[in-house]
Structure 1
Amino acid sequence: MSSLRPDIYTLTTLRKLSASSVRTHASSTQSSGRGAAPTADGRRTQVIVENTYRTEPDAKFPVRKVREIIKDVLESRLEEERYKPEESNELAKELTEVIKERVKALRVPRYKLVCFVQLGTGKKSEVQVSSQCIWNPDIDTYADFTFRNHHMFAVGIVWGMYYE
């Protein structure tokens, strides 16, 4: 009979947690655990957040908007640019960061972003870019844009993968 007591307590605790998605505990000890924040009286408050178990997003990944962001960044930055192999690595990193920050500003909830930019010379070069991963084709997606001028090309891709 005593072995059932912890199960009953756990079930009662789970029911209380189910009633609200966030519950706080105040303790008088000065613990430095993750998620603990000091209160006015010196106590630490630990926030316990219950899982949502959402398997589908509230809002889909905005492919058109992301494609426009990639297009805008690549065209505005590379319009008169010439391909310089010694500088292309840093330029690709810079473009990737700018694109990633602008896509993050869209605040699409629960999507993980992967951003990729590849630069190359425009002298009759041809490149095929491929990627492979496991994803849900109904939810996960990507946006891409290819920029070309007389001196270089750039391929920008942003993958949006839903994070449950």
Structure 2
Amino acid sequence: MSKPKAKDTPEEQNFQIRPPFSQKFKPGAVKELIVSILNEILGGKLYDSMKVSSWSKTIADSVKAQVKTLGYERYKIVVEVVIGEQRGEGVRMGSRCLWDSDTDNYASEVYMNDSLFCCTAVFGLYYY
């Protein structure tokens, strides 16, 4: 009687640690989306403190929905939107995040008119 052959190599599970190049977060493509959405939503608007909250939510939701259509399946998408009144003063913003420089990235854009400014940043963080 012959024994059943043992497999030479055990079945290996394939864990994807890095995204393929075609699915990496591409800041250029995301920046184009941000620019078009900001122009569409804020074009011709004057600063109104009562509407800023809803504009921020609308921009963040629209940007996140559009970025998800680009096919970043294993990415956590974080959108940050800040809108303020244009008074000729300077504004500085900073963000911190712990990430992998090989897989994670971000895109940002600033929209300004005579009445308001809007800083929008999108972070793409890869899930391992």
1:57 partner letter: P
Residue 29 of structure 1: aligned partner: none
| 1:126 counterpart (82, 87, 90) | 90
Gaps of 5+ in 2: 1-9
| 2:111 counterpart (147, 151, 156) | 147
1:90 partner letter: S
* Residue 70 (structure 2) pairs with residue 106 (structure 1): yes
Deviation at 1:149, TM superposition (A): 0.4
Distance (whole Å) between structure 1 residues aligned to residue 75 and residue 39 of structure 2: 26
Deviation at 1:126, TM superposition (A): 2.1
1:157 partner letter: A
Larger Rg, first or second structure (1 or 2): 1
Distance (whole Å) between structure 2 residues aligned to residue 55 and residue 74 of structure 1: 34
Distance (whole Å) between structure 1 residues aligned to residue 89 and residue 120 of structure 2: 17
Distance (whole Å) between structure 1 residues aligned to residue 125 and residue 56 of structure 2: 22
Residue 120 of structure 2: aligned partner: 156
* Residue 32 (structure 2) pairs with residue 56 (structure 1): no
| 1:91 counterpart (55, 64, 67) | 55
Deviation at 1:83, TM superposition (A): 0.8
Q: Which has the higher strand share?
A: 1
Task: Report the TM-score when normalising by structure 2.
Answer: 0.85
SS of equivalent residue, structure 2 residue 15: coil
2:58 partner letter: E
Distance (whole Å) between structure 1 residues aligned to residue 19 and residue 30 of structure 2: 17
1:162 partner letter: Y
Instruction: Report the count of equivalent residues.
Output: 118
Deviation per CA, 1:53-87, whole angstroms, max 9, x where unpaired? 22211121121110000000001211101111121
Share of identical aligned residues, percent?
29
RCO greater where, 1 or 2, for CA within 8 Å and sep 6 or more?
2
2:59 partner letter: L
* Residue 43 (structure 2) pairs with residue 79 (structure 1): yes
Residue 10 of structure 1: aligned partner: none
